[in-house]
Chain A
Amino acid sequence: MPTNNKKMYDKGMVLAGLVVFVVVVTFPFWYNLGKAAPPPEPVLTEKAKAAEKCVESIEFMKAEHMQLLDVWRDTVVRDAKRVYINPEGKTYMMSLSNTCLDCHDNKADFCDKCHNYASVRPYCWDCHIDNPKETE
């Protein structure tokens, strides 16, 4: 006679334990369901609003500002070229503190808001002055 090897020992305990395990592991997901932190809305200063367009288009700046800044720092430091002329022919000095923060002088409400949300910590501000206009 073939042995019945389909018998499950301690069925109740095992299944209950599995349910508890699944619930505990997925707890953070269903507990926070629908409570995602809203994406931050960076605040534009009056000067930035008046300019309407940044160095490049807003879509480009949103997606690629880090690549742009990377190109800027390399060309300024290594190639000694400091002028950026955008496709419309407008001229900018390639400087984080003196050009970017000239309009966006609200680093806390502009840069930090999104960076904190996305948990990125750029080390620009270890050296570059983050409040060029503030007088102490």
Chain B
Amino acid sequence: MKSSRRRFLKLAGIAALGLGSRPVVDAAYAAVGGHAAPEPKIGRQPEALTAKQWAMVIDTRRFESAADMEPLIEACHSIHNVPHFENKRHEIKWIWETEYKHAFPGKENDFLPWEVKERPYLVLCNHCENPPCVRACPTKATFKNENGIVIMDFHRCIGCRFCMAACPFGARSFNFRDPRPFIAETNKKFPTRMKGVVEKCNFCAERLAEGKIPACVEASDGALVFGDLYDPQSEVRQVLKENYTIRRKQELGTSPAVYYIV
């Protein structure tokens, strides 16, 4: 048969009709009753605690010596399988104690009260509202989750340590060695980390999901207060209203979510 423009256009029109009929046929099939398989659903536990921005207030007046902080640090490090290295250069820390001059550089006025200057300070990841580590991460392994927690997806971490360079608080540690042999007692409910990833405090995201407050807050006997910074009724807001608080390196503009009563 001789092909002509007319014949070609006819065929093309029929083909286009056929292609376009697919959604119509599908919709008709669904209407008749051939329904798709039920889909699985994904959600939160009903008891999960959520917030716009989780925040913490630390009453430093309640910690007179390193011994007062030991139970809090131990509570955190034991449930999160944080290894203990003797070698300081391999140290992994989620929450630790430091001196005033290191916690609050630039706030060292002359003639500070002796107890303010000499008492130890509890420091941890500040879960900044404007976190520089998140911007530095090339793989989006560290990100700000919907509750305002700066959290790590260890699956994605490639160990480049840009986040460690970006964090002005030294809140991040790198696993130079396989941490497993250095974990005194493994909490089997929580994963460990592997060599070559960065880790830090996760504000106990796994406990908040179960409706529990962070382990350090629980162990602090009221010296640490935890809550939603943007809920005017939260305990954190009450404490912030009643006490003068400072934050670490606030002038850098990262807006830390950990507040200190000094």
Which A residues contact B (CB, under 8 angstroms)? 56, 73, 75, 77-87, 94, 97-98, 123, 126-129, 131-133, 136
Number of A-B contacts (CB under 8 A): 65
Chain B interface size band reads 20 to 34
Complex alpha-carbon distance, A98 and B206, angstroms? 13
Complex alpha-carbon distance, A74 and B61, angstroms? 41
Report which residue of B48, B186, B191, B209 has the largest number of chain A beta carbons within 10 angstroms of its beta carbon.
B191
Complex alpha-carbon distance, A79 and B147, angstroms? 10
User: By DSSP majority rule, is chain B's interface helix, strand, loop, or mixed?
Assistant: loop
| A97 and B209 contact, CB distance less than 8 A | no
Which B residues contact A (CB, under 8 angstroms)? 37-45, 48, 143, 145-147, 151, 153-155, 186, 188-194, 205, 209
| A81 and B39 contact, CB distance less than 8 A | no
User: By DSSP majority rule, is chain A's interface helix, strand, loop, or mixed?
Assistant: loop
* In the complex, chain B residues whose CB is within 8 Å of the CB of A87: 37-40
| A126 and B194 contact, CB distance less than 8 A | yes
* Contact with B43, one of A73, A78, A83, A98 (Cβ below 8 angstroms): A83
| A80 and B44 contact, CB distance less than 8 A | yes
Sample of 25 A–B contacts (CB below 8 Å):
A56-B40, A77-B151, A77-B155, A78-B143, A79-B42, A79-B146, A80-B44, A80-B145, A80-B146, A80-B147, A80-B205, A81-B42, A82-B48, A83-B42, A83-B44, A83-B45, A87-B38, A97-B188, A97-B191, A98-B189, A127-B194, A128-B191, A129-B186, A129-B192, A136-B186
With contacts A56-B40, A85-B41 known, what are 18 further pairs, Cβ within 8 A? A77-B155, A78-B145, A78-B153, A80-B48, A80-B146, A81-B44, A82-B48, A83-B42, A85-B40, A85-B43, A94-B42, A97-B189, A98-B189, A127-B154, A127-B192, A127-B194, A128-B191, A136-B186
Q: What 10 A-B pairs are tightest by C-beta distance, nearest first?
A: A87-B38, A126-B194, A85-B41, A127-B191, A132-B188, A77-B153, A128-B191, A83-B43, A129-B188, A86-B40
Q: Which residue of B lies closest to A96 (CB)?
A: B191
Complex alpha-carbon distance, A131 and B83, angstroms? 19
B242 to chain A, nearest CB (A): 31
B158 to chain A, nearest CB (A): 13
